[in-house]
Amino acid sequence: MCERLEKLCYINLLQFTFLTHDWQKVDSVRSITKFQSFLNTATVSQQIHNDQQWMIEACQLAKYAAQQDEIPIGALLVTAQGERLAAGWNQSIQTHDPTAHAEIVALRAAATAVKNYRLPNTTLYVTLEPCVMCAGAIIHARIQRVVFGAYDAKMGAAGSRFDVLRDTRHNHQVECIGGILQEECGDILRQFFRAKRFK
């Protein structure tokens, strides 16, 4: 697991470098040894651990969505101090609302709680890479980080299909980390759709 996360962090840093054309940063990370040394710092190790723990909770929300016969995606919004601000899961079918994705539900709940549509210095954890619609809402809310589990090759807007969240043409860019508990998050979706096919 640790080795996989190290590779994941390295790939994400290289993706960021390529997208922002920060070639000086490329030179600085060409030394794998230095980068691995960076990964071994207590701060990074703790952040990876925190991301995994929050993603486990997001997975529980996704499973709850599946029980409601909704596409199983869960999301959590967490403050910089490590406090859960809001949670959400897909509710489009039950609410007859095409915008009621897990991310949007969580953002709405958080904005209502703090009485502000801006939610800076927060991290959004979601079990599937956000779509374009959710990415737009994330940018408007000024979310600092998005951490997601499974990649979405067809609709993903955090680097897979589109890269809306890190597009430098926007007045706000979001730090994106993907692949946290990727297999677990993907399995929830696969099991849901497999059960649908055999009904």
Q: Considering 70, 83, 103, 175, which one is annotated as catalytic?
A: 103
Cα–Cα distance between 33 and 31 in angstroms, integer? 5
Distances (CA, A) of 106 to 21, 40, 41, 51, 84: 33, 32, 31, 17, 11
Q: In the annotation, is 6 catalytic? A: no
Closest Cα to residue 122, out of 101, 107, 137? 107
- Going through the chain in order, the beta strands assigned E by DSSP cover 74-79, 84-89, 122-128, 145-150, 175-177
- Residues annotated as catalytic are 103
